[in-house]
Structure 1
Amino acid sequence: MKNILLPALCVIIMLASANNTQAQNKSISGKVTDEKRAAAEFVTVALLKARDSALLKTSLTDALGIYKFDISDTVDLLISVTAVGYEKAFSKPISKSSGNTVEVPVIALQRASKSLKEVTVTIKKPFVERRADKLIVNVEGSAVAEGNTALEVLRKAPGVSLDKDDNISMNGKNSVLVMIDGKPTYMSNADLANMLRAMQSTQIETIELITNPSAKYDAAGNGGIINIKTKRDKSMGVNGSINLGSGYGRTSKYNGSTNLNFRKGKINLFGNYNYSNRGSKSDFELNRKVTAAGIITNFEQNNVWNARRNNNGYKAGIDLFLNKNTTIGVLVNGYNNSADEKTASGTSIFNQVSAVDSAINVAGRNKQHYANNAYNLNFKTTLDTSGRELTIDADYSKYNGELNEFRDSYYLNFSNSPPVEFINNLAPAEIEILSGKLDYTHPLSKSLKLEAGWKSSWVTTDNNLRFSTLTGSTWNPDKNRSNHFIYKENINAAYLNLNKTYKNTSLQMGLRAEHTNSNGNSVTISKEVKRDYIEFFPSISLSQKLGKDHQLGASYSRRIDRPGYDKLNPFIFLLDKYTFEQGNPLLNPQFTNSSQISYTYKGSTTATLSYSKTRNVMTQVTEQNDATKETFVMERNLDNQTVYSLNIYAPIKLAKWWNLNSNTQVFNMGFTADVLGERLKASQTVFQVNVDNQITITKTLGAELSSWYMSPLQYGIFKIRNSPYVNAGLKKSFENNKLSLKLNLNDIFNSMRNRGSTNFANMDFNFNNKWESRVLNFSLSYRFGSKDIKPERRRSTGLESEANRMKN
C-alpha cells in the first residue's frame, strides 16, 4: 500500500483535469494603463457581450497591467475596465470573426472629473468571522489594529494564550504551528516571539485560527494552526521597520530587529533579521522521600541556573512575477543560536532521625549551539480563468546542534564514590530534511471546489553522545553512558479536500493518508527500532449563519503527533548522581480525535465547546529505583488522555476610552494508563481566565493592564498548583504613529512559579521552580517608507511538521 499514494494522486488530478476540459476557442488579452501610461495593477476587467453588455467573465490585471480571458462563446465581445478614482473605460467591439487569438489595444484610464463627496459607503467587517474550517479575526480596522505588535494581537485572539516564555497555545493545547501568509515560521520559540514583537498590527489583515485543520495540512500536531495574513495592496517602493528593546529582572535582556520590503514591477524582495541577548535565572527545589527495606531516606535538592542565550534569526526571499498567471519564488531562512549556562546544585541526604547523612555538590558549565538553514523553491501558476491552480514546493533544511557540558561533582560521606568526579558530556547532533509537495485546486462550479495534493519528506538525524570522565589529566570515554543514535524517516502523504458553499452554509470535508517508514538505530548497543505504518486522517467542518448576528460552527479531525527527534535518542542527561533524564527510542506517536461546536454573536463574542481523546499520549513520567535511590524522567506513552473544554471570548467596551477583552476557559483533563505497575486514573476540572484592559489616555498615549489565573491542575501523575500573574504597560506614539515607545512591567507581584507534587506508586516528592518572571521592559519601534507596499507573496512550504520536531 505504501507505493500507491503518488500514482493514485496523479490519477485523481488527471481525472479532475479531464473533467474540466472545455473548448477554449478564443484567447483575448490586453493591457491597462493609468493616465501617466504606467501599468494599472489589479484593476477590474470585465468581458461583456457587445450586443447587450451582458457580463460573461471578470478578471484582475496583474503587476504589469495585463489581463487575459479564454472564451468559447462565438459572439461579438467588449472589454470594460473599472477602477476607483478613474472613469470607466471600454475597448472597441471585438468581432466574433476576429480569430482565435485577439490582442486588444491598450486601454488608458483617465482620472474621474468629479469626486463623489456626497456619498460615503463604509463596510465594516466583524472582528470575528466563522468559516467552515477556521475562525477569522479581522485585525484591520479593529480596535486592536492600532498601537500593538503582532504578539500582542495574538494574545487578544479568542482561545489563544501565551505563557511566561511567550510560547503559544490555543484552546489549552500546545504544539501550535504558527504561519505567516501560509508559510511555516519553523523558528525557535524565542525567535518567533521576537519576530512577532517586530511586526506591527497595522501590517496584519487577518488572523486565521484553525483548531481542526483540513486534510490539506500535515496531519502532525494537535494544537492547531495560527496563520497570520499580512495586508495586500498594489503600491510600489520600499518600506521597513527598526525595533529595539531592553529589559531587566535579575539579569539584563536586549533585542533588536529590522525588516525591509521592496517591490517594483515584476520583482518583490523581502527580508528580516532579529537578534536577542537574554539572560535568565531560575531556582529549582526538589524534595524526595525514598523508602527501601523499611528505611526512609530524604533528599533535599536545591538547584540554581544562570544562563545567557544569544538568538539570531533571519529570512530573505524574492518573488518573480513571470506573467499574469505564473510566479516563482525563492525563500531562505534560519537561525543561529547559542547559550552559555552555569548551574549549581546541592543535595543533602537525611537519615531517619533527620540528620544529614551525606551530601553532593555539583557545579556545571554548559555551552550549546543550534543552527538551522532552510531553503524553499516555490512555483505557482493559474491554469485558466476558472481558477484552477497548481503549486509546487521543494524544500531543504540542515540543522546542526552541539552540547558541551562539564560537571564537577563533590561527594561528602560516600563510601562507594570518589570525593570528586569530573564529567564531560559532548552531544553533537545533525538533522537533514528534504521535502517536496504539490497542491492542486480545481473549481468544479461556482460553489464547489476540489483540492488535491501530495507530499514526501525524508529525514536523517545523527546524534553522537560522548560521555567521558577525568582521571588524573586524562579524559577517559565512558562506554556505558555514551550512545550513537541514527534515525531515518520517510513520510509520503496524499489528500483530497472538497469545499461547498451555499447561501448561508459552508461545508468542508477531506481525507489525508500518510505512510510512515522509520528506523531508529542505537549504534552503540546494536539495537534498531523499525516502524512501517499507514494512517488515515479525515476532517470535516461546517459553518451556518443564523440571521445577521448569530453563527454556528462544527468541526472534527483526526491528528498525529510524532516524537521530537531528540526524545527518541536514549541518552542520559545528568542533574546529579541520583537525578537524571533519559530519552526513549520506543516512544510511539500519539493520535488525537478532536471535535468542537462553536457559536459567534455579532462577530465578537464566541463560545466554543470542545472534546478530544488522545491515544498513546506522550508525557513525561518520573520513575524511581528504590535500591539505588535514583529518580529519573522519561517520556512515555500513556493509554489515553481526554479533554473537555468550554472557552468563552468576550470583548467589552466599558467606556469610549476603555476596552476589556476576557478569555475564559473551563476544561477537564483526564488520564488513564497502566504505568509503573499501577493503574493511573486521574482527572481534574480546571478554570483559566485571561483579562486584558486597554485604556486610551490621549490620542498618542495608552495604557494596558492584563492578568492571568489558572486553578490547580492534575497532569498525569503530577498535581500542579495555581500560578497567577499581573502585567502593566504604557505606550506613547510619535510622528503619525511611525515612532512608538513602550514601557511594561511583567509579573508585577513576582507570583509566577511552577509548584507541584506526586504521590504515586513508590514515589513521594514535591518541587518548586521559580524563574525570572518580574521583568521591566523598554522598547522602541520605528517604521519608515511607504506603508502600503505589497509584502512577500503568501505561500506554504513543505517543512510544516518536520521542522517543529527539531530542538532549537
Structure 2
Amino acid sequence: MKKLLSLILIIFTTSEIALAQFGGPPNGGGGGDGNGRNRSTQQNTPSFEINTPKGNSKISGFIIDSTATSAVEFANISLISKTTNKPVDGTMADDKGKFLLTKVAVGDYKLQISFIGFESKIINDIKVEKGKDIDLGILKLSPISQMLDGVTVTAEKAMIEEKVDRLVYNAEKDMLAKGGDASDILKKVPMLSVDLDGNVSLRGTTNIKVLINNKPSTIVASSIADALKMIPADLIKTVEVITSPSAKYDAEGSAGIINIITKKSSIEGLTLNLDSGVGLRASNLGLNGSYRHGKLGITLGGFGRLFYNKAGTTLEQSTVKDGVTQLTQQSSDAKDNGLFGRYNLGFDYEISKTQSISSSIAFGTRNLDRNQEYVTKLFSNNNLTSTSYRDVDSKDLSNSVDINVDYIKTFKPQQEWSISTQFSQNNLTNNFDANILNGASELLSRQKNINGNTNREITVQTDYQTPIKQNQMFEVGLKSITRQVDSDYQYLYAGSTGGFSTDARNPSGLLNYKQTISSGYVSYTYSTKNKYTFKVGTRYEYTTIDAVTNVNSINIPSYGNLVPSINISKSLGTATLKLAYNNRIQRPGLQQLNPNFNASNAQNITIGNPSLKPEVTNNVELSLSKNINRTYLNVSLFGRQTNNSIVRISAPSDTLAGAIVTTFQNIGRQQTLGANIFGNTFITPKWSLNGGIDIYYNYLDGQVANATGGFSTISNTGLTIGGRITSQLQLNNGWGVQAFGGYRGNQVQLQGSQNGMGMYSLGVKKDINNKRGSIGLAAENFFGGMTMTSTLNTAQFNQKSVNNIYNQNIKLTFSYKIGNMKFVEQKKSKSVKNDDVKGGESNN
C-alpha cells in the first residue's frame, strides 16, 4: 500500500512538471467563496490584469434564460472596442447571472455574451462617459434550437457540472426526485454511496460533513442518515461535492464536504408551490410560499413525509469462551412507521446598497416507530439450550431548531466583511419497550430503556476578504463554537405484572459533554497569465473538552490542530488539471459518544464511548476534466491516510451468552488509494446520459482485545468497485422519461466486510399548464426490494447478519405553482457553517 501511495505522489509531481510547458490567458472556471456559493473566476480566483487603458466607470447587468426566467450561471462577457473591434476587457457572470466590469475607460463599445447551449448576444452602441456607470439591466439569452427529423429540440443544462473546487449535481433536473428524500438524490451523485439506512460515504469513507444551504444542523451532528430523511428531494436544487475544501471551511470531514442547496426564491411578488405524492411505501405533502417586494423578502415553507415499510433480518453468530462454543440463530420481522418534516421561516432586508441582513429559523422533526419481533435460538456445543421470543417497540424521535442572523457589508467589488451567528439545538429520544414471551405468546417479563439526549450549539464567526491588484485575493476569519451534549439514560425491568424498577444489570447513567472550538484561518489566491491558479491557506483550531459521567470525570486533554490546504489548477484549453492536498480532522459525533447500553436486540448490543478523540487525515488528489463536444469527462486519482481512526469494534459479551457488544475506539489506521471516472453526454440536446465508476483499495489495521486478555494487531484489505448510470429523455408536449441504476460494491471493515447492493428506478413525468405543474409516475426497486449482508470474522467470534428491505415502491406525484413572478437579484448573504463533527451511524 505504501508503494502505491508513493507511486501516486510521483505521478502528481510528474504531471506538474509537464504543466509548466503550457501558457495562455487566465483560468476562466468558476470558483467558490467558502460558503458554498459558486462565484466567477473574476470574484474568487481573479484573472490577470488586461493591459489596456483604464477609467473609473462600471458596466453591470443580469443574464437570464429567456425561456425559463432563471439565471444563466457563469456566462462569458467580452467588452469589445468599436474602434479596433478587439476585446479590451472581460468577465464571467456569477451563479446568479450577475456580472460587473470595473475601471472601464471612456469610449464606444459593444458587449458580447456567450454560453454553451445558448445563442450569443451582442449589445451594440455602449457609450461610456467619464465618471458615469451603465446598468444594462436584465439581458436574455435564447437557448440554441435545431431541427432533427422535424422535431425541435433545445439544449438542456447538464446534470453534472464541475467548478474549480467542487462537483455539482443539478438535482432540479432529476425527474424522479419528487416524493423521495435527500438520500434518494445522493444515491445518484458521483463519488457518493448511500446504504439501506441512509448512511452516506464519499470515496469509501463515512467521515464526511453534510451542510444544508451552507449551514450545519445539530440533527446532522446526531445522524446524517436521519437528517437526510427530513429534506424532501424535490426541494433540492443542487448537491455540491467538495473533496478538497480550502482553509475557509472548518477542518472537519476526512473525505470532504457535501453541501445540499435547496431551491430558493429568485422572484418578486407572491408565490405558492404545492408538491405532493402518494406511494405504496411513502407519501408526502409540501407547501412553500414566498413574498418579495423592494428591499424585503420573506419565505415560509413546510414539508412532511409519511413512511411505512416492512423489513426482515436474520442473524447467525458464534462465540468461543472457556472452550465452549455458543451459537446464536435469530430471525425477525419489522414494521416501520415514520413521519419526517421540515419547516422554515426566513427573511432578508437590504439596509443599503452596501449592507444587508438576513435571518432564518428552521424546525425539523423525525419520528420513527419500529415494531420488531425476534425469535432467538441459543446452542451450546451444538446442543439447543433455549428459545426466546422478544417483541420490541423502539422509538427514534427528534426535533431540531436552527436560528441564524447574518450581516454583510460590501466596501467595493470583492471586498466585504461579514458577521454570522447561529443557535442550534436538537432534542433526541432513543427509547424501546421490550416484552419477553414464551412460545405460546405468554408474557414472561418486560424491559424499558429510556434515553434522552440534547445537543446544543452556539456559533459566532466573522470573515473578511479583499482583492490585491487584479489577480490575487486575501481572506481571513475567526470562529468560535460552543457545543453542549447531554445524555440521560436508564434501564427499567418488570415481571409480567406490576411496576417497573431499576435493572441492576444495566445501571442508569448520564453524560455531560462540553466542547469549545476556537479557530482562525488565512487564505491566499493567486492567478497567473499562463492559466495557473494557486489557492493556499491554513487553519488553526484549538479544542477544549469537559466530560463528566455519573461515575467519574473523563480526562480528555485540550488539543490544537494546524490544517493546511493547497489547491492548484491548470487550464489546458478544453481541459482542466487539478492537484490538491489538505489535512482534515474528524471529531466524534453524538452516537459515537453516547454511553447508553443499547440492547433493543439483546444478542447484538451497541454502546458509545465518551473518551473518543478526533481522527486526523491527510488527503492528496489529482484530477483531469475535459469537454469533448457534448460530452464532459472527469478522471481523478486520490490517496488518503487516516491515523487514530474511529473504528467500530465488536467482541463477545462477558455476561450474556452468545451476545456480541459493539463500541467505538481510536485504534485504527486506514489507507485508501482510488480512482473515480465519470462523465455526462448529450446524445441529442434533449437526451442525456451520465454515469461513473468508483474503484478504490482499502487497507485497515488496528489493535483489538484477544481471548487471553491481551491485544492483537489485526488488518484487513479489499478492493471496492461501484457505479451508477442515469438516462433522461425529454419528449414532446411536456413528456419526459428517466431511468436510473446503481451498484455499491463490497465495503471493507476492520473485522469483516459488508456486501454490495443495487438500486434502480424508472419514471415518467408530464408537465401541465405551461410548466406551472406536473404529474409523474415512478417505480423503484420493483424486483423484490434490497438486501444487505454484513459479515464479521475474528478469532473470538463469527457473525453474519442479513437485512432485507422490502422497499419496492410505486409513487404518483403532483406539483403545482401559482403566483405572479418576475426575476430580481438575490441578495448576497453569508452564514455559519459548522463542519467539524463526524456523523452518526443508523442503528436501524
TM over 0.5: yes
Aligned equivalents of 2:437, 2:169: Cα separation in 1: 57
Of 570, 581, 585, the match for 2:610: 585
Equivalent runs, 1:725-736 vs 2, <5 Å: 725-736=759-770
Kept in 2, the 8 Å contact 1:278–1:310? The answer is yes
Kept in 2, the 8 Å contact 1:164–1:773? The answer is no
Aligned equivalents of 1:462, 1:116: Cα separation in 2: 55
Letter in 1 for 2:434: R
Equivalent runs, 1:650-799 vs 2, <5 Å: 650-654=679-683, 658-676=687-705, 677-750=711-784, 752-786=786-820, 788-790=822-824, 793=827, 795-799=829-833
Letter in 1 for 2:202: M
Letter in 1 for 2:755: R
Kept in 2, the 8 Å contact 1:433–1:460? The answer is yes
Q: 1:245 maps to which residue?
A: 277
CA 1:255–1:125 in 2, change beyond 3 Å: closer, same or farther? closer
Kept in 1, the 8 Å contact 2:744–2:757? The answer is yes
Aligned equivalents of 1:70, 1:130: Cα separation in 2: 27
Q: 1:16 maps to which residue?
A: none
Q: 2:11 maps to which residue?
A: none
Equivalent runs, 1:125-524 vs 2, <5 Å: 131-136=163-168, 144=173, 156-164=188-196, 167-179=199-211, 181-184=213-216, 189=225, 192=228, 195-199=231-235, 204=237, 208-227=240-259, 235-248=267-280, 252-352=281-381, 354-385=382-413, 387-410=414-437, 420-470=444-494, 473-478=498-503, 480-503=506-529, 504-522=531-549, 524=550
Shift of 1:290: 2.4
Letter in 2 for 1:746: E
Q: Relative contact order, CA 8 A, sep 6+: which one is greater?
A: 2
CA 1:80–1:239 in 2, change beyond 3 Å: closer, same or farther? farther
Shift of 1:790: 4.9
Shift of 1:292: 3.0
Letter in 1 for 2:645: V
Aligned equivalents of 1:491, 1:792: Cα separation in 2: 32
Show CA shifts across 1:554-598 (max 9, x none).
Answer: 111111111112321221011344432111122221111111110
Shift of 1:396: 0.9
Aligned equivalents of 2:638, 2:475: Cα separation in 1: 27
Equivalent runs, 1:539-558 vs 2, <5 Å: 539-548=565-574, 550-558=575-583
Q: CA RMSD in A?
A: 4.5
Letter in 1 for 2:205: K
Classify the secondary structure of the residue corresponding to 2:757.
Answer: coil
Kept in 2, the 8 Å contact 1:279–1:309? The answer is yes
Aligned equivalents of 2:171, 2:840: Cα separation in 1: 31
Letter in 1 for 2:621: Q
Kept in 1, the 8 Å contact 2:418–2:830? The answer is no
Classify the secondary structure of the residue corresponding to 1:430.
Answer: strand
Aligned equivalents of 1:360, 1:752: Cα separation in 2: 28
Shift of 1:81: 13
Kept in 2, the 8 Å contact 1:240–1:258? The answer is yes
Structure 2 segments unaligned to the other structure (5+ residues): 1-54, 62-70, 73-77, 80-86, 93-98, 114-120, 146-153, 706-710
Kept in 2, the 8 Å contact 1:185–1:192? The answer is no
Classify the secondary structure of the residue corresponding to 1:432.
Answer: strand
Q: Tell whether 2:623 aligns with 1:598.
A: yes
Letter in 2 for 1:768: V
Kept in 1, the 8 Å contact 2:155–2:686? The answer is no
Shift of 1:743: 1.7
Shift of 1:678: 2.4
Kept in 2, the 8 Å contact 1:455–1:798? The answer is no
Show CA shifts across 1:338-389 (max 9, x none).
Answer: 222222112111243x44321221112223431111111100001235x311
CA 1:412–1:529 in 2, change beyond 3 Å: closer, same or farther? farther
Aligned equivalents of 1:197, 1:316: Cα separation in 2: 19
Larger radius of gyration: 1
Of 583, 600, 612, the match for 1:575: 600
CA 1:176–1:803 in 2, change beyond 3 Å: closer, same or farther? closer
Shift of 1:461: 1.5
Classify the secondary structure of the residue corresponding to 2:233.
Answer: helix
Q: 2:559 maps to which residue?
A: 533
Equivalent runs, 1:79-158 vs 2, <5 Å: 131-136=163-168, 144=173, 156-158=188-190
CA 1:254–1:595 in 2, change beyond 3 Å: closer, same or farther? same
Aligned equivalents of 2:123, 2:610: Cα separation in 1: 67
Of 626, 640, 644, the match for 1:612: 640
Aligned equivalents of 2:791, 2:486: Cα separation in 1: 36
Shift of 1:454: 0.6
Kept in 2, the 8 Å contact 1:241–1:258? The answer is yes
CA 1:70–1:627 in 2, change beyond 3 Å: closer, same or farther? closer
CA 1:393–1:633 in 2, change beyond 3 Å: closer, same or farther? same
Aligned equivalents of 1:659, 1:131: Cα separation in 2: 20
Shift of 1:261: 2.4
Q: 1:9 maps to which residue?
A: none
Q: 2:672 maps to which residue?
A: 643
Show CA shifts across 1:43-91 (max 9, x none).
Answer: xxx99xxxxxxx999999xxxxxx99999x9x9x999999999997879
Shift of 1:177: 3.8
Kept in 2, the 8 Å contact 1:233–1:788? The answer is no
Aligned equivalents of 2:353, 2:446: Cα separation in 1: 66
Kept in 2, the 8 Å contact 1:255–1:276? The answer is yes
Structure 1 segments unaligned to the other structure (5+ residues): 1-25, 33-40, 48-54, 61-66, 95-103
CA 1:788–1:687 in 2, change beyond 3 Å: closer, same or farther? farther
CA 1:355–1:126 in 2, change beyond 3 Å: closer, same or farther? closer
Classify the secondary structure of the residue corresponding to 2:835.
Answer: helix
**How many percent identity over aligned positions?**
20
Classify the secondary structure of the residue corresponding to 2:592.
Answer: helix
Classify the secondary structure of the residue corresponding to 2:600.
Answer: strand
Aligned equivalents of 2:326, 2:100: Cα separation in 1: 82
Aligned equivalents of 1:280, 1:145: Cα separation in 2: 24
Moved more, 791-800 or 266-275: 791-800
CA 1:690–1:440 in 2, change beyond 3 Å: closer, same or farther? same
TM-score, L = length of structure 2: 0.77
Kept in 2, the 8 Å contact 1:27–1:69? The answer is no
Shift of 1:157: 4.2
CA 1:183–1:736 in 2, change beyond 3 Å: closer, same or farther? farther
TM-score, L = length of structure 1: 0.80
Show CA shifts across 1:436-494 (max 9, x none).
Answer: 00111011121100110010011112111122222552322236421011111100000
